[in-house]
Amino acid sequence: MGVFWALVTPLLMLGVFTFVFTEIFQSVWPGTTGKVDFALYLFAGMVAYNLFAEVASGTPRLIVGNPNFVKKVVFPLEVLPLAQVGSALIHSLMSLTILIIAKLVFHQSLSWTILLLPLVYLPLLALSAAVGWVLASLGVFLRDIGNLVAVVVQLLFFLSPITYPTSNVPEAVRPLMWLNPFATIIDAFRAVVIQGVMPQWGPLLIVTALSLLAAVLGYAWFMKIKRAFPDVI
């Protein structure tokens, strides 16, 4: 099946979550009716978040798993986390294609706002690269950090508005929700792909600027600490 394995996990998760939230919890996405709309909104959130989750889960052992690149050849190690981001992006685009096809099949329409997707992907890719560089370098010194990352990725999944809309979060804790950059990214993703409206430019621009800054700092951290890799591996 090759690269199509990349679609199996999100599709299985989509089926399970759709069943649990629509059949057991009887959840309905605000402003919509039916299970199809809930599945589309849910899958849109998963497409955006899974890119980051794949990078975060795959980078802690990236350097450790390629010792020859550290000791035996001259290789720009900083490229490895970027390669992980690129792989995750390809998988994300495959899932996005399925989402777009489903939108066309069930809604018979697709808004021009989908052309804004590169602007939504930009902070997601920058944040993923930043986390990738940091985790790849830390994985050299803290070999079990992958266990912690797995827990954090799961927690962030449920703390991000993937299986629920941001409007369902209680007012008292909603400001804390906006501290999570994925809340802004996922809402913007749904806006341009599913709803056909403009994203909230203010929060999106702030998240983009902070994500780009994080990428610069993550790269600088990696370049500084990679000098110690040969002594540890």
pTM over 0.85: yes
**pLDDT for residue 20:** 83
**pLDDT for residue 230:** 85
Pair 163, 39: CB distance under 8 Å: no
Task: State the residue for tokens 């989750």.
Answer: 53
* 14-21: long-range pairs with CB below 8 Å, 24+: 14/39, 14/42, 14/43, 14/46, 17/42, 17/163, 18/42, 21/163
**pLDDT for residue 26:** 77
Spatial CA neighbour of 124 closest among 220, 216, 211, 217: 211
SS3 121: helix
**pLDDT for residue 3:** 66
**pLDDT for residue 2:** 64
- The single-letter code of the amino acid at 41 is Y
Task: State the residue for tokens 């927690």.
Answer: 155
88: which residues sit within 8 A by CB, 6+ positions away? 50, 51, 52, 54, 55, 58, 128
**Cα→Cα distances 65→60, 61, 116, Å:** 9, 6, 37
Task: For the chain of 233 residues, list the mean pLDDT of each consecutive stretch of 10.
Answer: 72 82 79 81 92 95 87 84 95 90 87 95 97 96 93 94 88 87 95 94 96 97 91 81
Chain centroid, CA 54 distance in Å: 7
